[in-house]
A = this chain, B = another copy of it.
Amino acid sequence: MTNQDLIKTLSIQTPSKIVLLVIDGLGGLPNPETGKTELETAKKPNLDKLAAGGICGLSDLVSPGITPGSAPGHLGIFGYDPVACNIGRGALEAVGIDFDLRPGDVAARGNFCTVDEAGRVTDRRAGRIPTERCAELCKLLDGQVIDNVKIFVQPVQDYRFIAVFRGDGLSPALNDTDSQHEGVPPLTVNALSPEAKHAAEVANKFIARAKTILANQRPANMVLLRGFSERPTFPSMSEIYKLKPAAIAAYPMYRGLARLVGMEVVKTGSRIKDEFATLAERYAEYDFVFLHIKPADSAGEDGDFERKVAVIEELDSLIPQLTRLEPDVIVVTGDHSTPALLKGHSWHPVPVLISGKYCRTDKVTQFGESACLGGGLGRISATQIMPLAMANALKLNKFGA
């Protein structure tokens, strides 16, 4: 029995409420000048207060040394084995833009790119064309039918789009056409298993048509496809935890992830304060709310230590709007570290705090990497966060007689 199966047998519905606040890319590395991480540098009296009253620790999202992408990071926090539940990039992008991805569909992530007369890729991102232009180009390609397979082409952001193939007998066992290099032509799609032969033929025909259709466009005159994949099927959070869960997330990918685990996605605005306003408005309707804060990660990705600090401070100022709702349990954590020093996701474990009436409080009084090291949760796997949140909300029965 997996731990998730165990939790499913023990979970009960109660009126108690849990709020899970995920600060994307929360963990960091010390600024060499001060010895303090982004989180340790930020003035965040409200998060520190939650840490002081709660129980803290550090979480490995996948396992020590592994740098998680956003999807495995979130699935871990939601209590799903992030390796067993790995989602393909195409499927993830599709659900992330609210595309109704169905069982049997094969989704790919696409880039508009630039090729020269010889067909060699000269710019994998077509000069990073704006989303509006991407949408216009997608319209040129959308809705074709090739060998009884309908192909949906929809814009994501900038030069990125999704291509979804819908028809009988498709398989996602296909290689990327994006070689990740410039100066060479896109790769041909090959079937990586016998069942994928039909899908490979259709994909190659689609790409050939796209080349013709885009021939006179500049700079986006070709497409690259990668991450062919299907919609995964996971047990929903309602099934596992008997929760009625909602997701508040300004960024599409996180809404998509939330939908895959059966959360209801609540409409919100693009700013952190919009998300907190939505939380207050919709809080009464749910017993579990996942609130996703993106800009800390973006700042880390840009290597902007100070901006990441500022995002955390902005978020902290809104925490009273959360605590005022008096959830039974508040969890604050991140889906991975994004140290400004590394300008990208990293493997470093992420601070986690659980605040609730029945926590066995530890001596941690600051929400930071070093402080959490001495916390009462110790170093846990992210998949243990939901069981702990459920337990603290008194939503898990005793196991065994």
Enumerate chain A interface residues (CB-CB to B < 8 A): 1, 3, 6-7, 10, 29-30, 37, 58, 62-73, 82-84, 86-89, 92-93, 227, 341-342, 344-348, 358, 360-363, 369-370, 373-374, 376-380, 384, 386-391, 396-401
Contact assessment for A29 and B396 in the assembled complex, using a CB-CB cutoff below 8 Å: no
Contact assessment for A399 and B29 in the assembled complex, using a CB-CB cutoff below 8 Å: no
On chain B, the residues within 8 Å of A380 by CB distance are 64
B58, B66, B345, B376: which contacts A6 (Cβ < 8 A)?
B66
Given A342-B358, A360-B30, A374-B374: A69 touches B391 (CB 8 Å cut-off): no
On chain B, the residues within 8 Å of A65 by CB distance are 7, 384, 386-391, 396
Given A30-B361, A83-B1: A399 touches B62 (CB 8 Å cut-off): yes
Main DSSP-derived SS at the A contact region: loop
Given A64-B384, A358-B29, A358-B342: A399 touches B69 (CB 8 Å cut-off): yes
CA distance A58 to B378 in the complex (A): 10
Closest to A79 in B: B65
On chain B, the residues within 8 Å of A369 by CB distance are 360
Contact assessment for B400 and A86 in the assembled complex, using a CB-CB cutoff below 8 Å: yes
B71, B227, B377, B400: which contacts A87 (Cβ < 8 A)?
B400
Given A67-B391, A69-B399, A390-B65: A6 touches B358 (CB 8 Å cut-off): no
Given A361-B30, A380-B64: A391 touches B83 (CB 8 Å cut-off): no
A sample of 22 cross-chain residue pairs with beta-carbon separation below 8 angstroms, ordered by A number, consists of A6-B62, A6-B63, A10-B66, A29-B358, A58-B378, A64-B384, A65-B388, A66-B391, A66-B396, A70-B400, A71-B401, A82-B399, A83-B399, A227-B401, A341-B358, A345-B398, A346-B358, A346-B391, A363-B370, A373-B378, A378-B378, A378-B379
On chain B, the residues within 8 Å of A58 by CB distance are 378
CA distance A341 to B67 in the complex (A): 40
A94 to chain B, nearest CB (A): 12
A35 to chain B, nearest CB (A): 8
Given A64-B384, A360-B29: A347 touches B391 (CB 8 Å cut-off): yes
Given A1-B83, A87-B400, A373-B362: A387 touches B66 (CB 8 Å cut-off): yes
CA distance A340 to B66 in the complex (A): 37
On chain B, the residues within 8 Å of A341 by CB distance are 358
B66, B72, B376, B398: which contacts A69 (Cβ < 8 A)?
B398
CA distance A319 to B136 in the complex (A): 62
A385 to chain B, nearest CB (A): 9
Contact assessment for A87 and B401 in the assembled complex, using a CB-CB cutoff below 8 Å: yes
Closest to A345 in B: B398
Closest to A388 in B: B65
B63, B373, B391, B398: which contacts A376 (Cβ < 8 A)?
B373
Contact assessment for B360 and A92 in the assembled complex, using a CB-CB cutoff below 8 Å: no
On chain B, the residues within 8 Å of A397 by CB distance are 67
Please name 20 further chain A to chain B contacts, defined as beta carbons within 8 Å, in addition to the given A10-B66, A362-B370, A374-B374, sorted by A numbering. A1-B83, A6-B63, A6-B83, A30-B361, A64-B377, A64-B384, A65-B386, A66-B387, A66-B399, A69-B398, A69-B401, A82-B399, A83-B399, A86-B399, A87-B400, A87-B401, A88-B401, A341-B358, A347-B388, A373-B374
